[in-house]
Amino acid sequence: MLVLDHIGKTYPNGVHALGGVSLEVELGEIVAVIGGSGCGKSTLLRAIAGLDPASEGRVVLDGERIGAPHEKIGIIFQEPRLLPWLKVADNVGFGLNGRPKAERAERVSAALRRVGLADKASVWPRELSGGQAQRVAIARALVPRPEVLLLDEPFSALDAFTRTDLQDHLLDLWADAKPTLILVTHDVDEAIVLADRITVMCPRPGRIFDEIQVDLARPRDRQSAAFDFVKRRVLAALDRSLNRAPIGPGEEQKADEGAAMWW
């Protein structure tokens, strides 16, 4: 289980990016973190990853405190960030350096087949399209079999078609080993398609504003009424989070009339 215990982050220049975020994530759960700009979602993710450790609070994974990048935690960024001097297969195998060559080759080719890029193993990263490169990045992150996979707006740089394609693909890959996924996104549809739980954050300082369970059966139909209902709840919560309207203990979470664009 991944436990975030009152995570706070203040940057050296004084910016108070996160103020007391607490969250418990079960193994195998998919949690989406969504919120307006400046609400600290990426900061939170990087704190969990250990890239920018929190200034207050603790990140605990399976009882072990996380303060630096850990082998059980993988991360995927908004850009594919493939190493341009390595071919695709070498990029995918990058995290497996300590392993014997045969094992590495086997796991790499299995991963490439899984993301549908087996024929691109000997290709340079510069020859890949955006969607293909991001798939290679996903393969690279999944190959070391992490327990927790963090995704920082992984599909926001891609076009709508590729995005929906990769969302479905990600669920497919997740079903293999069922790692815990924590996904930061600003695409509400993406959050609802993928997540078991959607955490809405609000800014200044970043903290959790609301949590919405998504109890729909997978595969989720983007056109269904149930999907739409959840979407309205999320959009309403986002609206309220940005108005910084305090939400009282007994207040009902009702969708506002005509809750539409939240930015």
Partner 1 sequence: MSLVSMTLAAEGTPARERSAASRRARFIRPALGLIVPLVLALAWEIVVRLGWSTGRLAPPPSVIFQTFVDLARTGELQRDTIVTLSRVAAGFALGAGVATVVGAATGYSPLLRRLLDPSLQALRAIPSIAWIPLFILWLGIFEASKVTLIAVGVFFPVYLGLMGAIQSVDRKLVEVGRAFRLSDVEMVRRILLPAVLPAYVISLRSGLGLGWMFVVAAELMGASEGLGYLLIDGQQLGKPAEIIAAIVAFAIVGKATDWLIALAAAPFLRWEDVVRSE
Asked if residue 79 binds partner 1 (CB under 8 A), the reply is: yes
Segment 122 to 181, residues that bind partner 1, using CB under 8 A = 124-126
Q: How far is the CB of 68 from partner 1 (least distance, A)?
A: 8
Whichever of 38 and 50 has its CB closer to partner 1, that residue is: 50
Asked if residue 216 binds partner 1 (CB under 8 A), the reply is: no
Using CB under 8 A, count the residues that bind partner 1: 21
Q: How far is the CB of 69 from partner 1 (least distance, A)?
A: 5
Q: Work out the angle at residue 22's Cα, subtended by the Cα atoms of residues 30 and 57, and round it to the nearest 5 degrees.
A: 125
Q: Which amino acid is at 161?
A: F
C-alpha torsion 45→256→248→24, nearest 10: -30
- Contact by Cβ (8 Å): 15, 176: no
Interacting residue with partner 1 among 86, 118, 171, 255 (CB under 8 A):
86
Q: How far is the CB of 125 from partner 1 (least distance, A)?
A: 8
Q: Is 250 helix (H, G, I), strand (E, B) or coil?
A: coil
CA–CA separation, 113 vs 109, rounded Å? 6
Q: Which amino acid is at 175?
A: A
Sequence-separated (6 or more) residues with CB below 8 Å from residue 1: 24, 25, 26, 27, 61, 62
Segment 90 to 129, residues that bind partner 1, using CB under 8 A = 94-95, 97, 124-126
Binding mask 18-57 for partner 1 (x = CB under 8 A): -------------------------------x-x------
Whichever of 69 and 219 has its CB closer to partner 1, that residue is: 69
Asked if residue 75 binds partner 1 (CB under 8 A), the reply is: yes
- Return the range that interacts with partner 1 (CB under 8 A); candidates 6-14, 64-72, 103-111, 204-212: 64-72
Q: How many CB atoms are located within 10 Å of the residue 242 CB?
A: 18
CA distances from 194 to 66, 75, 184, 191 (A): 26, 17, 11, 5
Q: How far is the CB of 146 from partner 1 (least distance, A)?
A: 10
Q: How far is the CB of 13 from partner 1 (least distance, A)?
A: 17
Q: Regarding beta strands 56-61 and 2-10, do their DSSP bridges make them parallel or antiparallel, or are they unpaired?
A: antiparallel
Binding site for partner 1 (CB under 8 A): 49, 51, 68-71, 74-75, 77, 79, 81, 83-86, 94-95, 97, 124-126
